[in-house]
Structure 1
Amino acid sequence: MARRKEATARQARLGSELRKLREAAGLKGREAAALLGTDSTQISQIEFGTAGVSSERVRRLAAHYACSDTELIDALVAMAVDRTCGWWEEYRGSLPNSFLDLSELEHHARFRWDVDFLHVPGLLQTEEYARALFSYVNPDFPGSELERRVEHRMRRKVIIERPDPVPYEALVHEAALRIRVGDRAATRAQLKRVLELSDADHVTVRVIPFELDSFAGAGSAMVYAGGPVPQLDTVVRDGPHGTLLIDAEAQLSRFRTLFRKMEAVSLEPERSRDFIRKLAKEL
């Protein structure tokens, strides 16, 4: 297959999972190359995601690596043969690649969890809220670029609005609901939108109230996207140097535990809805 100039996060993830299997088998790149009748350069390109790999080669490598997890192998094969050219490709070259990688990740996710402490999660935002947020954080953006980002964020909602929606759960701190991103009317409209979306059977919104004692999770905002098997889950976090995609099993396990811990202390869904209704009436 032709070499890619740049790998998407999904392509790079396939390569990294194949590298993990090779390293777990105790094989060098040149040994894996010999198994396929190629050279170590191509193995490196496959493992960096800059070269594609056929389903047949994925299965051959998995067999040589003594991987017996058939569900994982099938999931990797599905990633290898996937040729989806999603709606997000319209934005390639005009938005940061991290925006596109997140959209692709969401498209393939089996479920989505959000934890947010300062803002309403992106999938729940109104257009006015998103516009106010982007324009405040990046006041020098040209109007066209600002609108491009707002449009992209609104289109991401397709995963919870399409006929086969992704199960979605959001843990939102009271602070995020009280902070007025925009004016009073915009904040009220945003709260009403959260209530409307939480009416859906596949959407769950839970509020983490200020009144909790001994709550030290406020630095744990995350996006958690469930893969076809747990090994292919991904955590997305915003860091000081950009967006970070986390896929190491030890870290995934820690974030799963952290999410469940915060979920356990959050308000039940109906109590959360009552809480949000009260906040909206106070505005």
Structure 2
Amino acid sequence: MALRGEPTARQLRLATELRRLRDAAGITGREAAASLGVSSAQISQIEKALAGVSEKRLRAMAANYACSDGELIDALVTMATDRTHGWWEEYQERLPTPYLDLAELEYHASHRWDVDFLHIPGLLQTEDYARALFSYVNAEFPPSEVDLRVEHRMKRRVIIERPDPIPYEAVIHEAALRIRVGDRSGARAQLARIQALSEADHVVVRIIPFDLDAFAGAGSAMVYAGGAVPKLDTVVRDGPHGTAFVDAEAQLARFRALFRRLESVSLDPDRSRDFIHTLIKEL
């Protein structure tokens, strides 16, 4: 079987989890290979996401590693055997890989949390807002490149707009609501979309107002995607060197606690809707 040239973030996550199980068992790659009757190179390829793994072999690996977490094993089997051809694949070689990885992550997520301080979360953005944002940040791009990114972002909204949407919660700072990425009418339309979506049963929007005392969490922006089990959750953060996918268990626990802290100081959903309504009237 040919080796993969560029594994996806989902494939890499599966490989990482299998390596973590082996490390937790205190078993070397050579020992793991011997117990399965395969070569050390094959174990290495699986743990680098260069090669896939069958359900039978994955369950054998988990048994050899003394993993008794049945829900985790089942979730890993699903990742290993999934053959979904998602809409994002049409953007291969047209957009940077992180765009595709994020769309795939969202598609498989059990729930999604967003925290934003300067911009409206991508899933809540109107087309005009997204276009203004991409045009400003990438001023050197021709219109066709901007259109491609806007199109991709609008398609990502499917996870909260489809008939079986995932639970979604957004914590947004007042600054993001007040910054006019586009013109006044565009800002009004953007706020109206957030307010309308917040009425849905599966959507929760909370606002952090400027007049909140003792708030020092403005550097806590994140995308939190829930996995099939908590160990498979993922945090996505934008950094100076690009998009980072965080999956270490200790870090996930830290970001879960951080989200709950931000949630606790924000306005409740009803007061947040009233807050947005007031901003709309100001425009």
Q: TM-score over 0.5 for the alignment?
A: yes
Structure 2 match to 1:279: 279
Residues in 2 aligned to 1:215 and 1:50: alpha-carbon distance in whole angstroms: 45
CA contact (8 A) 1:131 1:146 kept: yes
Residues 96-107 of structure 1 aligned to structure 2 (within 5 Å) = 96-107=96-107
User: Where does residue 234 of structure 2 map in the other structure?
Assistant: 234
Matching residue's letter, 2:132: A
**Partner SS, residue 104 of structure 2:** helix
| Amino acid in the other structure paired with 2:39 | D
CA displacement 1:105-131 (0-9 Å, x = unmatched): 000000000000000000000000000
Residue 34 of structure 1, CA deviation:
1.2
- Per-residue Cα deviation, 1:75-108 (whole angstroms, up to 9, x for no partner): 0001010011100000010001100000000000
Q: Distance in 1 between matches of 2:11 and 2:70?
A: 20
Matches within 5 A, 1:181-200: 181-200=181-200
SS in 2 for 1:140: coil
| Residue aligned with 2:93, SS | coil
What corresponds to 1:151 in structure 2?
151
Amino acid corresponding to residue 239 of structure 1 in structure 2: G
Q: CA deviation at 1:36?
A: 1.8
Alignment map for 1:18-37 (pairs within 5 Å): 18-37=18-37
Aligned twin of 1:115? 115
Number of the residue aligned with 2:15 = 15
CA distance in 2, matches of 1:82, 1:227: 14
**Deviation string for 1:23-46 (max 9, x for gaps)?**
000111111111221112211111
The CA deviation string for residues 222-241 of structure 1, in whole angstroms up to 9 with x for no partner, is 00000000000000000000
Measured in 2, the distance between the counterparts of 1:42 and 1:212 equals 55
Work out the CA distance in 2 between the residues paired with 1:50 and 1:279.
51
How many residues align? The count is 283
Output the TM-score relative to the length of structure 1: 0.99
* RMSD (Å), alpha carbons: 0.7
Unmatched 5+ stretches in structure 1: none
Deviation at 1:2, TM superposition (A): 3.1
Structure 1 runs of 4+ aligned residues shifted over 3 Å read none
Report what 1:260 is aligned to: 260
> What residue in structure 2 maps to residue 221 of structure 1?
221
Provide the rounded CA distance (Å) in 1 between the counterparts of 2:60 and 2:240: 40
- 1:204 is matched with 204
Give yes or no for contact 1:2–1:52 (8 Å, CA) kept in 2: no
Give CA deviations for 1:162-208 in whole Å, capped at 9, x if unaligned: 11100000000000000000011111110001111111100010001
SS of the residue 1:141 aligns to: coil
Instruction: Write the letter of the residue equivalent to 2:90.
Output: E
Q: Please, which moves more after superposition, 117-126 or 29-38? A: 29-38
Instruction: Give the Cα–Cα distance (whole angstroms) in 2 for the partners of residues 30 and 202 of structure 1.
Output: 47
Q: Which residue of 2 aligns with 1:179?
A: 179
Task: Tell me, in whole angstroms, the C-alpha distance in 1 between the residues paired with 2:121 and 2:33.
Answer: 44
Is 1:73 paired with 2:73? yes
Which residue type is aligned with residue 242 of structure 1? Answer: G
Deviation at 1:70, TM superposition (A): 0.3
Instruction: Tell me if the contact between 1:170 and 1:204 (Cα under 8 Å) persists in the aligned partners.
Output: yes
